C-alpha cells in the first residue's frame, strides 16, 4: 500500500507542475525541483534549478503554454522515483498567434526530500509536431 501512496504522491507532483506551467506561474517552477535539480530539454542546454525562474519568465512573456502529462509507468525505489510519461503540448506565440502542437516522450527522476517528492532530473525528446513530422519545437523554458 505504501508504494501506491508514493505513486499517487508522485503523480500529484507532476499534475501540480503541469498546472504551474499552464498558468505561467514562473516563480513557483523551481519549487518543484531539488536544489541541485536539472531540466534537460530536447534541443537546448541543461538548466539548473537556479536558472529556471529567469528562463521561465522570459518564455512565458512570449508564449501561452499548455501541457498535459500522461503517465505510463512509475517506479518508486526508496528515496527515488522514476516516471515515464508522454506529454502533449500546445504553444501559442503571442507575436504571431501561431499555434504549435507537439508530442514528447518525458522522463523524470524524482528524489524525496523532507517527505516531499521533488524533480531531480527531467528530460524529454520530441516525437511529433502539429504537422505530423518529427521536428524540434521550442518546448523548453
Local confidence band at 54 (pLDDT 50, 70, 90 cut-offs): confident
Local confidence band at 129 (pLDDT 50, 70, 90 cut-offs): low
* Residues 6 or more apart in contact with residue 109 via CB below 8 angstroms: 80, 81, 82, 119, 120, 121, 122
Over the chain, what is the mean pLDDT? 89
CATH of 2-127, one of 3.90.1150.10, 1.10.357.10, 3.30.420.40, 3.10.450.50: 3.10.450.50
Residue of higher predicted confidence among 94 and 58? 94
Domain boundaries, the chain: 2-127
pTM as predicted:
0.87
- pLDDT surpasses 50 at 137: no
Q: What is the pLDDT of residues 74-124, one digit of tens each?
A: 999 999 999 999 999 999 999 999 999 999 999 999 999 999 999 999 999
| 97 to 16, 62, 81, 90, 132: CA distances (angstroms) | 27, 10, 38, 12, 20
What's the confidence (pLDDT) of residue 140?
Answer: 45
- pLDDT surpasses 70 at 1: no
Long-range Cβ pairs for the range 72-78 (8 Å, 24+)? 74/7, 74/10, 74/11, 76/3, 76/6, 76/7, 76/10
What's the confidence (pLDDT) of residue 4?
Answer: 86
Amino acid at each position: 500500500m505504501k508504494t501506491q501512496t508514493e505513486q499517487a504522491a508522485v503523480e500529484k507532483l507532476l499534475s501540480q507542475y503541469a498546472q504551474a506551467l499552464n498558468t505561467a506561474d514562473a516563480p513557483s517552477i523551481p519549487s518543484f525541483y531539488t536544489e541541485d535539480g536539472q531540466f534537460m530539454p530536447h534541443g537546448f542546454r541543461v538548466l539548473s534549478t537556479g536558472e529556471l525562474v529567469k528562463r521561465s519568465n522570459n518564455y512565458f512573456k512570449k508564449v501561452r503554454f499548455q501541457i498535459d502529462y500522461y503517465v505510463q509507468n512509475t517506479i518508486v525505489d526508496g528515496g527515488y522515483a522514476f516516471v515515464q510519461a508522454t506529454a502533449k503540448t500546445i504553444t501559442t506565440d503571442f507575436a504571431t498567434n501561431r499555434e504549435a502542437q507537439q508530442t514528447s516522450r518525458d522522463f523524470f527522476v524524482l528524489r524525496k526530500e523532507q517527505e516531499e517528492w521533488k524533480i531531480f532530473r527531467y528530460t524529454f525528446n520530441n516525437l511529433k509536431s502539429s504537422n505530423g513530422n518529427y521536428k524540434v519545437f521550442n518546448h523548453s523554458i
